Amino acid sequence: MAVKTYIEAIRDGMRDEMRKDERVIVLGEDVGVKGGVFKATEGLHKEFGEMRVIDTPLAESGIVGVAIGAAINGLRPIAEIQFQDFIMPAVDQIISEAAKIRYRSNNDFGVPMVVRAPFGGGVHGALYHSQSMEAMFCHIPGLKVVVPSTPHDAKGLLRSAIRDPDPVLYFEHKRAYRLIKGEVPEDEYTEPLGRAAVRRSGDDIAIFSYGLMVHFCLEAAEALSRDGFECEVVDLRSLRPLDRQAIVDAAKKCGKVLVVQEANLAVSVASEVAAIVAEECFEYLDAPVRRLGGPEVPAVPFSPPLEEFYMVNPAKVEHALRELAAY
């Protein structure tokens, strides 16, 4: 199997689907000739032309609103938001429109659209090129939210997202783009939306995470393993819907739970995972459910000491695990 970077897998996923299905188009800022600011769409403009790879005006509500209309009229648009931080002007089109169109039309209309956006910190991007803003979308019925952590999943989940009949927000960790490499099958495999994946099994502590943080969790889990504590690492992958069964199974098996995310904790994905565990695993818990995430400040600051202080890293995960283990 070929080894690819995370961003190559995303690019391949788009290219393959565009070759296979001419209804698939890509639109966004700088996605054409430039191939995107991260090069995720590199080569697509050349291969598929400007009818299917569209450099839009600088207007995010416009990008998503146009994608919705195009999806309703038979296309399969992939809208790229240059940075997830800049999805905010499109929130009305995503939450008031895309998420509600099937429901409000009593299943007469659907919006088969993917919105791709790079998120996450640790790249000196400061407040507006580092955010992890998935939580607000995970609250919204009608949306699906996906965050791959490996090149294999990046391609397999993107295929499923493009083929899905409903709007899918596909969030890519920008630091993983070139940092994370892995084997990607040549064949036309898919990964299902809505399912978590167990990355490491153990029965002492269940760790739930997603995106780049999964790799930090695996690193920390290895460190504890040397002292005989075996952690189960569950990659949530799908943040809406959450894989309730996978969460409950791992939590019950281990009796201790740590949820790890890059975003700040209040009213977040970690809150929901902790609430599910508290509701459904009460009699199996041997310790309080623990959450590790960013501090309650607006976003990742720029200066290196500040950014380092903000970011979750393997050492912080290990520290939290040792506390739980000692409980």
Ligand X SMILES: Cc1ncc(C[n+]2csc(CCOP(=O)(O)OP(=O)(O)O)c2C)c(N)n1
Size of the site for another protein (CB under 8 A): 75
Q: Quick one: CA dihedral 190, 147, 169, 241, positive or negative? A: positive
Given the residues 45, 129, 173, 215, the one annotated as active site? 129
Compute the distance between CA of residue 281 and CA of residue 246 in angstroms, rounded to an integer. 12
**Residue 79 neighbours by CB distance under 10 Å:** 34
Instruction: Please pick, from the candidates 41, 56, 82, 149, the single residue that binds ligand X as defined by CB under 6 A.
Output: 82
Cis peptide before 295 (omega within 30 of 0): no
Mark whether 319 is an active-site residue: no
* Contact positions with another protein (CB under 8 A) in 54-113: 54-62, 64-75, 77, 85-86, 88-89, 92-93, 96-97, 100-110
Q: Quick one: CA dihedral 81, 86, 89, 94, positive or negative? A: positive
* 245 touches another protein (CB under 8 A): no
* 178 touches another protein (CB under 8 A): no
Instruction: Please pick, from the candidates 2, 3, 33, 58, the single residue that binds ligand X as defined by CB under 6 A.
Output: 58
Task: List the x/- string, 252-291, binding to a second copy by CB under 8 A.
Answer: -----------xxxxxxxxxx-xx-xxxx-x--x-xxxxx
* Contact positions with a second copy (CB under 8 A) in 106-165: 127-128, 135-136, 138-142
Rg (CA), the chain: 19
Instruction: Write out the DSSP string of 19-56.
Output: HH-TTEEEEETT-STT--TTSTTTTHHHHH-TTTEEE-
Specify the length of the chain in residues. 327
- The gap between the terminal CA atoms of the chain, to the nearest Å, is 43
Nearest approach, Cβ of residue 59 and ligand X (Å):
8
Buried b (16+ CB within 10 A) or exposed e, 262-297: bbbbeebbbbbbbebbeeebeeebebebbbbbbeee
* 95 touches a second copy (CB under 8 A): yes
Active site residues: 129
Binding site for ligand X (CB under 6 A): 29, 58, 60, 82, 86, 89
State the residues that interact with a second copy by CB under 8 A. 61, 85, 88-89, 91-92, 95-96, 99-100, 103-104, 127-128, 135-136, 138-142, 240, 242, 263-272, 274-275, 277-280, 282, 285, 287-291, 296-299
